[in-house]
Amino acid sequence: MSAPAGTEALSQAANKRFISGVVEGFYGRPWTMEQRTELFQREQKWGLNTYLYAPKDDYKHRMYWRDLYTEEEAEQLIALISAAKRYGIEFIYAISPGLDITFSNPREVATLKKKLDQVKEFGCCSFSLLFDDIEAEMCPADKQAFSSFAHAQVDITNEVYRHLGEPATFLFCPTDYCAAFCTPTVSQSTYLHTVGEKLLPGIDILWTGPKVVSNKISVESIEEVSSVLKRAPVIWDNIHANDYDLQRLFLGPYKDRPTELIPKLSGVLTNPNCEYHPNFVAIHTLATWCKAGAEGGQRDVEMAGEQEPEPCYSPQKALTLALTDWLEDFQSTDQPGAHVKKDSLDEEPMQTDMAESPYVPGTDENPLYTAEPLTLDDLTLLSDLFYLPYEHGPTARTMLQELDWLKNHSVVASADTDQTAEWRSRAQQFDGMCEAVVQMFNRLSNAPNRSILYDLYNYICDIKTGVGLARAYVKGLGGHGPLSAQPVNNDPEAWTFRGGLSGEFQRMLPSHGNRDLFTSPPVTEVYCIRPFCPDDKLQVQRIFREVKSAEVPLGVQPPLLCDCLLEGEILPSPDCALVLEDETGVCGYALALPNAKQAAAKVQRAVNDSVLENFPTLIAAQVLPRVTDSPAKRMIGQLLSSVKSSGSKGVFCEVRQSDQKMLGLYTQLGCFRPITMDNLPQDVIAMGTSL
Ligand code: GDL
């Protein structure tokens, strides 16, 4: 990549210290002041240096951003800011005025300054303005005053930044804060270019990576965005955020961000799980990553000349380090009267008479309940079950694989099912894995530290139930119980309606909200949609023929209207023709013919006037089988926008019933409806949409 225009700003950023730490930036219940103070202590211990205060649902951070803090609130914030100082953590105060601010009104700007002045008086020296998750449409007054939304945001940010005396740390979160939000792309985003050019160079910009929750963040993607922003971004990392799904929690290691990113960034802040305690792993492993990045740089020099150096950050090793430390926390009691480890009880006998003679059951009485201590294996299993947004941990993957195998290889022959020896042995192993989950649950629920347990409780109960259902099902397959995960009962208990109304909605939908990481793991292919050019003609014909011959034997089917477009007899509209490319080359196309009559004449088929009247444009789209739905739908969506901008009032297409992929895609787009057409070849469906 050529040197970005903002090289100067980049090297400036390189001289600043690397921002590392936590952003409390999720939706839902904010953390308590005590939790935040404990967080500062931890961050210091682990070598992180920053905390960004941005709790989305805190009244005065976003919804009522204009309101000043009361005396009582002020006291709390002052205490928090000084606690951060005590632990050497930079406290950055963020405000999100974007829900309802009128950028062009000087009174609004004054109110914003006044609010930040108040926080400055509390001892805060670093600030941030956030414009994420807001309507991108400006109000009429702002439209008059600013040439774009980016101009409005940048204008107010620069003004506030200057007003506060150009603080050493000042962060700005754009509305398009990840590549997926940029139209059409990062490098062509007018919004990002304006931000990059107009935002004062001392202001850093937050960026979540390719997506809101980025699976991977590559060096190339950061180089691309840095050249547009004219500075190295600070990553706001949502890899451990769980505020978008009630049933998920992320206890896997910081992962899929190469440490080579560190010199290319101004910092990394993790926006983790809503529950404070389970973030031990997220923050600990981020700290290990940051250290590895710093050390890795030095070691590269020392090891010059040696063969392959060890990768400087191993997510697996970082996880084990984190879990080993976390285990200690579980063992420390956080409540008076809790059952602490036996040896500490021995040290300090209790004062009361009762305690002097603890109850010892007789030989014919119930033995005392004894809690087994939690182990590192338990925590590793827990982390595997609640791993990362796009990946289950190794044990969870094995359990899913085994269940899948057991389901597909069982012989349901008769009442006394006789499975093969291999099946029985694997079923037994699966049962053992389920039992380990139950034991882990038992030991966790007996751990002395109740605060950590309570943050985890709903999740571990839920997974215990899920695993229990799978276990009962496998037992049933093996002939040791009813052959249903949930025995049918006319008078069911409440807990059989799993997931409530939301669960019910999701199960009723054909394709949304019911994606499985196991059966459809995320694809990481990069696709490009670009205009069709004459050189693509051969590739397009190749795809057309390849898919057609797979669907129906060549030569036996009457032509579709679009065939002449694909055989090159008629050219598509140059403004309304796209191809889809992946690493291997052209893998799909979407072409439009503005006047479908031309095709009808070529194929010599009479097409109803009403169709041509309502849907004058004919489109043809196809993708190779390896292409996933999402880029294919995007390409068709983009074609429809171009056709609409060209002035057409509607499009139609013809699809063979055997072409399930295209039928599915058009249906999923949601706007196409079957239309009636005379003279349609057999087994062909015509679908149209108004624009
Ligand atoms: C977001 C929000 C964040 C939220 C996260 C995960 C940013 C910049 N903003 O888009 O508040 O916690 O998604 O749901 O990430």
3-state secondary structure 541-587: HHHHHHHHHHHCCCCCCCCCCCHHHHCCCCCCCCCCEEEEEECCEEE
Question: Is any atom of ligand 1 closer than 6 Å to the C-beta of 389?
Answer: no
Q: Give the closest residue (by CA) to ligand 1 atom 1.
A: 212
User: What's the gap in Å between 26 CA and the centre of ligand 1?
Assistant: 6
The whole-number pLDDT of residue 588 equals 96
Inter-residue contact 679 to 606 (CB < 8 Å): yes
As a whole-number percent, the residues of the chain with pLDDT over 70 amount to 88
Range in 122-126, 431-435, 579-583 the model is least confident about: 579-583
Give 656 or 479, the one with higher predicted confidence.
656
The number of the ligand 1 atom at minimal distance from the alpha carbon of 241 is 6
For the packed helices 421-445 and 376-385, what is the interaxial angle rounded to 10 degrees? 110
Question: Is any atom of ligand 1 closer than 6 Å to the C-beta of 142?
Answer: no
The number of the ligand 1 atom at minimal distance from the alpha carbon of 243 is 14
Sequence-distant (6+) residues with CB within 8 A of 407 are 477
The number of the ligand 1 atom at minimal distance from the alpha carbon of 177 is 8
SS3 349: coil
Q: Which CATH class is domain 7-302+311-330?
A: alpha beta
| Residue range(s) occupied by CATH 1.20.58.240 in the chain | 373-487+494-515
The number of the ligand 1 atom at minimal distance from the alpha carbon of 244 is 14
The whole-number pLDDT of residue 337 equals 64
Q: How do beta strands 684-690 and 673-674 pair?
A: antiparallel
Average the pLDDT over 120-138 and give the result. Answer: 97
The whole-number pLDDT of residue 278 equals 98
Question: Is any atom of ligand 1 closer than 6 Å to the C-beta of 128?
Answer: no
Question: Is any atom of ligand 1 closer than 6 Å to the C-beta of 208?
Answer: yes
Inform me whether the pLDDT recorded for 141 exceeds 90. yes
Give 104 or 679, the one with higher predicted confidence.
104
Q: Give the closest residue (by CA) to ligand 1 atom 7.
A: 132
SS3 639: helix
Tell me what the pLDDT averaged over the chain comes to: 89
The whole-number pLDDT of residue 487 equals 52
Pocket-testing residue among 22, 23, 24, 26, ligand 1, by greatest number of atoms within 8 A of Cβ:
26
Phi, psi of 531 (to 5 degrees): -60, 145
Active site residue 57: no
Inform me whether the pLDDT recorded for 574 exceeds 70. yes
User: What's the gap in Å between 177 CA and the centre of ligand 1?
Assistant: 10
Measured over the CA atoms of residue 53, residue 56, residue 62 and residue 67, the dihedral's sign is: negative
pLDDT category of residue 20 using cuts at 50, 70 and 90: very high
Q: Which CATH class is domain 373-487+494-515?
A: mainly alpha
pLDDT category of residue 85 using cuts at 50, 70 and 90: very high
The whole-number pLDDT of residue 675 equals 93
The whole-number pLDDT of residue 300 equals 35
Question: Is any atom of ligand 1 closer than 6 Å to the C-beta of 172?
Answer: no
Question: Is any atom of ligand 1 closer than 6 Å to the C-beta of 271?
Answer: yes
Pocket-testing residue among 133, 204, 236, 246, ligand 1, by greatest number of atoms within 8 A of Cβ:
133
Question: Is any atom of ligand 1 closer than 6 Å to the C-beta of 177?
Answer: yes
The whole-number pLDDT of residue 9 equals 38
Q: Name the CA dihedral angle for 473, 478, 479, 483, rounded to a multiple of 10 degrees.
A: 20
Inter-residue contact 104 to 144 (CB < 8 Å): yes
**pLDDT one-digit tens code per residue, 195-209:** 999 999 999 999 999
Average the pLDDT over 599-625 and give the result. Answer: 92
Inform me whether the pLDDT recorded for 591 exceeds 70. yes
User: What's the gap in Å between 390 CA and the centre of ligand 1?
Assistant: 16
The whole-number pLDDT of residue 343 equals 47
Question: Is any atom of ligand 1 closer than 6 Å to the C-beta of 238?
Answer: yes
| Residue range(s) occupied by CATH 3.20.20.80 in the chain | 7-302+311-330
Sequence-distant (6+) residues with CB within 8 A of 398 are 433
Phi, psi of 34 (to 5 degrees): -65, -45
Which CATH number describes the domain made up of 528-690?
A: 3.40.630.30
Q: What single DSSP character describes residue 674? A: E
The number of the ligand 1 atom at minimal distance from the alpha carbon of 26 is 12
Measured over the CA atoms of residue 219, residue 224, residue 229 and residue 235, the dihedral's sign is: negative
pTM: 0.75
Question: Is any atom of ligand 1 closer than 6 Å to the C-beta of 27?
Answer: yes
The whole-number pLDDT of residue 309 equals 53
User: How many Å apart are CA 200 and CA 161, to the nearest integer?
Assistant: 9
pLDDT category of residue 548 using cuts at 50, 70 and 90: confident
Q: Give the closest residue (by CA) to ligand 1 atom 4.
A: 26
Inform me whether the pLDDT recorded for 6 exceeds 50. no
Sequence-distant (6+) residues with CB within 8 A of 501 are none
Q: Which two tokens stand for residue 603?
A: 């194929």
Catalytic, out of 133, 256, 329, 377: 133
Question: Is any atom of ligand 1 closer than 6 Å to the C-beta of 234?
Answer: no
**pLDDT one-digit tens code per residue, 294-348:** 865 444 333 444 455 555 899 999 999 999 999 999 999 887 666 554 444 444 5
